[in-house]
Amino acid sequence: MTIEQRSTTKPEKHTPSTITITISVITHLLLLAPVIYIIVLSAETYNLFSWHPILTTIGIGLLTLEAIFCVSGEAYVSSRITRKNRILIHWLLQSFGFGLMLAGVIIIIVMKGNRPHFKSVHGKLGLSATILCAIILISGILADNTKWFYPRIRPITIKIIHAVGGMLVTIILLAALINGTYTHWWPGTIVGRDLTFASFVIGTFFIMIKPILGAASRIKFMFRKTSSNT
């Protein structure tokens, strides 16, 4: 093979191992199971308020977490889809998830009227998470267009801010979602609530492993380059 051919040949993506695929499948199930459970419980006691847990659970517990997973950890997607397309899927899932979450928040505001919903721990977490999620969505646009700020701001700095901020906001979103199952609304059993808690936490743990390692690697690289320049 000539030098020209080597330079134009794209590196082949390797098929993920059985263990990696298995972990991905388990992670998807850990996210999907509690979401379905909460939707079923909400449907059994259906009223207008039911749309609040339904929309926020799908938006946060499924779409937002899947958005992170698809861009940085999902084995099959990573092996079949280019990085650019995974970022597009990430953006679409995140935006749709935020839209559902926002709709759920609007429903609770309309239903509560003058009654103080955002004075509770769940309400404060939910409102804070919604605002922070909107900020992270905007930062995602900046992270995907770092050339707008170069050379005033290094691209790696913007990407680190978006990645770390996104992980922190995701934890707050999940905390708000789980806290909602510990309110007087919860129509399920105590065991069901505990399993929901465990499923979300373990699934999120699997999802966060690779983004955390990636962010740590970028931070290490950034400081190493800064020290070299100095």
Neighbour tally for 27: CB within 10 Å = 23
In this structure, of 8-12, 102-106, 107-111, 191-195, the range with the lowest mean pLDDT score is 8-12
Cα–Cα distance measured from residue 163 to residue 212, given in angstroms and rounded to the nearest whole number: 8
Q: Render pLDDT for 38-85 as a digit per residue (tens, 0 to 9).
A: 999 999 988 888 999 999 999 999 999 999 998 887 777 877 888 888
